[in-house]
């Protein structure tokens, strides 16, 4: 009985962290690219977005981030934790995104790359401590001073995720972030990312071509195209 009550409280908290799309569609020059789509991703769940090249997967993620090129027209409503994202600038949406390429700044050290993700309001010792914690979390203790080019692909991928998480997003979008890693590393990194998403109750949307990603995810699967 107690276990059931705890389970219900847990799923209530996950619902409160929900990312919800209601009738979200995208068109380009009057041609429908993404037909109206409705889905809800609870906190900690990973939904999967699949579809052939050019079917609009990255455009949909850009729309959620608030960075969709104005040549596109988007309709529908997006809410995150009950907040309507329509009209909010990208920096106020609390939507974090991770790409296929890690996009680390080559002229900054690993620690400086991580600090870039932190809210500007966090200053001084708090900033340094947050970076140290992120390095430890990513099993990269002692590597903060390194140039990103001297890290392995897996280490760089972990820095990129940590940088995204340090911005304290309320949702996580993943645009094929595993596709450039070799098979063994891919499954370890995927498990690590999904674990962070669960612990932080982040509703997560993963764009992928890899059926293994879908097998490991526990949210809805959407096929475009
Ligand atoms: N800024 C833009 N201006 C005009 N057309 C664009 C722009 N960005 C993307 N497109 C077009 O929009 C369509 C959808 O592109 P999108 O990148 O969203 O597809 P995708 O499903 O993510 O593809 P892939 O799997 O190859 O990454 C494509 O036909 C693309 O050429």
Instruction: Concatenate the DSSP letters of all residues of 15-64 into one string.
Output: HHT-EEEEEEEEEETTEEEEEEEEEEE-TT-EEEEE--TTSSHHHHHHHH
What pLDDT is stored for residue 186 in this prediction? 86
Task: Report the nearest atom of ligand 1 relative to the CA of 62.
Answer: 18
The pLDDT score that the predictor gives to residue 3 is 85
Q: What is the pLDDT at residue 198?
A: 95
Q: Which helix (H) or strand (E) holds 60?
A: helix 57-65
Ligand 1 binding pocket includes 179 (Cβ within 6 Å): no
Based on the domain organization, do 60 and 149 belong to the same domain?
no
Domain boundary among 150, 167, 184: 167
My answer on whether 88 and 188 are in the same domain is yes
CATH number at residue 9: 3.40.50.300
Give the pLDDT confidence score for residue 1 in this predicted structure.
64
Together in a domain, 68 and 177:
yes
74 CA distance to ligand 1 middle (Å) = 14
Q: Is the residue at 216 inside a domain?
A: yes
Q: Is 69 in the pocket of ligand 1 (CB under 6 A)?
A: yes
Kindly list the distances between the CA atom of residue 225 and the CA atoms of 35, 50, 126, 205, 222, in Å, as whole numbers in the listed order. 9, 9, 46, 17, 10
208 found inside a domain: yes
**180 in a structural domain:** yes
> In the listed set 120, 151, 167, which residue is the last one of a domain according to the structure?
167
Q: Is the CB of 70 under 6 A from ligand 1?
A: no
User: Does residue 100 fall inside a structural domain?
Assistant: no
What averages of pLDDT result for each successive group of 10 residues across the chain (225 residues)? 83 92 96 96 96 95 97 97 95 93 91 89 85 91 94 91 94 91 85 93 94 86 91
**Do residues 81 and 180 share a domain?**
yes
Domain assignment of residue 101, yes or no: no
Integer-rounded Cα radius of gyration of the chain: 18
Helix (H), strand (E) at residue 47? strand 46-50
In a domain, 181, yes or no: yes
- Residue 130 lies inside a defined structural domain of this protein: yes
For the record, the structure tokens of 29 come out as 């020059």
User: Which uninterrupted H or E stretch holds 184?
Assistant: helix 183-199
Ligand 1 mean position, distance from CA 59 (Å): 6
Is residue 9 domain-shared with residue 66, that is, in the same domain?
A: yes
User: Among residues 140, 179, 187, 132, which one has the least CA distance to residue 159?
Assistant: 140
ipTM: 0.96
How many domains is the chain built from? 2
Task: Name the residue range of residue 133's domain.
Answer: 106-167
Residue 10 forms part of a structural domain: yes
28 and 72 both lie in a single domain: yes
Are 143 and 162 members of one domain? yes
CA 104 from chain center: how many Å?
A: 16
Q: What is the pTM (predicted TM-score) of this model?
A: 0.93
């Amino acid at each position: 009985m107690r276990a059931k009550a705890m389970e219900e409280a847990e799923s209530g908290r996950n619902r409160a962290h929900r990312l919800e799309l209601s009738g979200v569609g995208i068109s380009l020059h009057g041609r429908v690219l993404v037909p109206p789509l409705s889905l809800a991703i609870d906190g900690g769940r990973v939904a999967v977005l699949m579809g052939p090249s050019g079917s609009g997967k990255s455009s949909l993620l850009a729309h959620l981030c608030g960075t969709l090129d104005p040549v596109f027209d988007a309709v529908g409503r997006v809410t995150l934790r009950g907040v309507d994202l329509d009209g909010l600038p990208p920096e106020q949406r609390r939507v974090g995104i991770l790409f296929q390429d890690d996009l680390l700044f080559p002229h900054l050290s690993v620690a400086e790359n991580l600090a870039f993700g932190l809210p500007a309001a966090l200053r001084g010792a708090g900033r340094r401590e947050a970076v140290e914690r992120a390095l430890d979390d990513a099993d990269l203790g002692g590597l903060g001073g390194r140039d990103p080019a001297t890290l392995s692909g897996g280490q760089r991928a972990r820095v990129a995720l940590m940088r995204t998480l340090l911005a304290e997003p309320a949702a996580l979008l993943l645009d094929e972030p595993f596709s450039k890693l070799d098979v063994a590393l891919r499954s370890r990194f995927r498990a690590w990312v999904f674990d962070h998403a669960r612990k932080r109750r982040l509703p997560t949307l993963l764009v992928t071509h890899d059926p293994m990603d879908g097998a490991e995810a526990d949210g809805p699967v959407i096929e475009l195209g």
